[in-house]
């Protein structure tokens, strides 16, 4: 037969052991819960970082594509017409400047439109009429960028300017290289506005577009729209300066 007092005492001891173990279990549960929360926070922070990286793009956006018909492109393409034999009558037999628009190029060897076998002929529109400009192809040429001698572009014919390769452009005969008609024609293919330094051979055209000396040098100034523009200069092989 069991002693009632002894049995009660053992039960009370078991209860104390159970109560003593309870905080440990609770603490363990609390620690586990805290660990899961930190892991979740880390995951959230990492996710936020990924999202931030995807939103902030360090690469600058590409420039906008400009419409080909926008005003910035207006007038960029040169005017080209079929060559003509009907010329204007406003030039003189002087050394001068012809400012106009290049509307046709008559290749060397073509005999219509005032063409011949030793020149490329340019047809320049000035004040509503076309004028012939004969450019030699049997010499040498060079190209240089410089301000327009004679002032800014002004459509028309102006006589007796002063223009010398060496004095105005600091260009000398050693800078020139042999050229040909094809090279000249290709270089002028996309030219719109043009200035011609030359000597009128009559009321309808100009020639001697090469080194002449005495501040009367012939040349072509291409697209003279800015503070500087490209000059095409010409000389013969026996000219030194």
Considering the domain architecture, whether residues 103 and 193 belong to the same structural domain is answered as: yes
Considering the domain architecture, whether residues 94 and 53 belong to the same structural domain is answered as: no
DSSP string, 82-110: ---S-------SSEEEEEEEEEEEE-TT-
* Mean of pLDDT values over 95-106: 98
Quote the domain boundaries for residue 50. Answer: 1-61
Considering the domain architecture, whether residues 124 and 93 belong to the same structural domain is answered as: yes
Under a CB-based contact definition with an 8 Å cutoff, are residues 143 and 229 in contact? no
CA 123 to CA 137: how far, in whole Å?
16
pLDDT in tens, 209-231: 999 999 999 999 999 989 999 99
pLDDT at 47 over 50: no
**pLDDT number for residue 207:** 98
Helices in the chain by DSSP H: which ranges?
A: 4-55, 165-169, 181-188
User: Do the domain assignments include residue 202?
Assistant: yes
User: Do the domain assignments include residue 110?
Assistant: yes
Under a CB-based contact definition with an 8 Å cutoff, are residues 144 and 117 in contact? no
pLDDT in tens, 144-201: 999 999 999 999 999 999 999 999 999 999 999 999 999 999 999 999 999 999 999 9
Considering the domain architecture, whether residues 17 and 87 belong to the same structural domain is answered as: no
Q: How large a percentage of the chain has pLDDT more than 70?
A: 68
| Counted domains in the chain | 2
User: Do the domain assignments include residue 111?
Assistant: yes
DSSP string, 60-83: PPPPPPPPTTSGGGTT-SPP----
Q: What is the pTM of this model?
A: 0.69
pLDDT at 76 over 80: no
Considering the domain architecture, whether residues 83 and 48 belong to the same structural domain is answered as: no
CA 194 to CA 192: how far, in whole Å?
6
**pLDDT number for residue 19:** 44
Considering the domain architecture, whether residues 103 and 135 belong to the same structural domain is answered as: yes
**Burial degree of 55 (CB within 10 A; 0-12, 13-18, 19+):** exposed
User: Do the domain assignments include residue 67?
Assistant: no
- Higher-confidence residue of 128 and 12: namely 128
Under a CB-based contact definition with an 8 Å cutoff, are residues 208 and 98 in contact? no
81 beta partners:
none
**pLDDT number for residue 77:** 82
Considering the domain architecture, whether residues 10 and 37 belong to the same structural domain is answered as: yes
pLDDT at 30 over 90: no
> How many CA within 13 A on the CB side of residue 71?
0
């Amino acid at each position: 037969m069991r002693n009632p007092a002894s049995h009660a005492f053992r039960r009370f001891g078991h209860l104390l052991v159970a109560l003593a173990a309870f905080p440990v279990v609770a603490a363990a549960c609390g620690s586990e819960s805290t660990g899961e929360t930190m892991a979740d926070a880390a995951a959230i922070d990492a996710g936020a970082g990924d999202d931030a990286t995807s939103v902030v793009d360090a690469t600058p956006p590409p420039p906008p594509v400009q419409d080909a018909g926008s005003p910035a492109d207006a007038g960029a393409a040169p005017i080209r017409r079929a060559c003509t034999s009907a010329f204007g009558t406003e030039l003189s037999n002087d050394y001068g400047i012809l400012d106009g628009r290049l509307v046709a190029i008559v290749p060397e060897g073509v005999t219509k439109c005032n063409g011949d076998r030793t020149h490329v002929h340019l047809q320049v529109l000035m004040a509503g009429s076309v004028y012939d400009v004969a450019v030699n192809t049997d010499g040498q040429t060079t190209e240089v960028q410089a301000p327009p001698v004679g002032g800014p572009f002004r459509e028309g014919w102006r006589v007796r300017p002063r223009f010398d390769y060496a004095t105005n452009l600091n260009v000398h005969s050693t800078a020139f290289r042999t050229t040909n008609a094809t090279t000249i024609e290709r270089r002028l293919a996309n030219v719109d506005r043009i200035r011609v330094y030359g000597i009128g051979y009559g009321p309808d055209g100009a020639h001697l577009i090469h080194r002449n000396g005495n501040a009367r040098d012939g040349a072509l100034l291409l697209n003279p729209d800015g503070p500087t523009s490209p000059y095409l200069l010409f000389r013969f092989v026996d000219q030194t300066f």
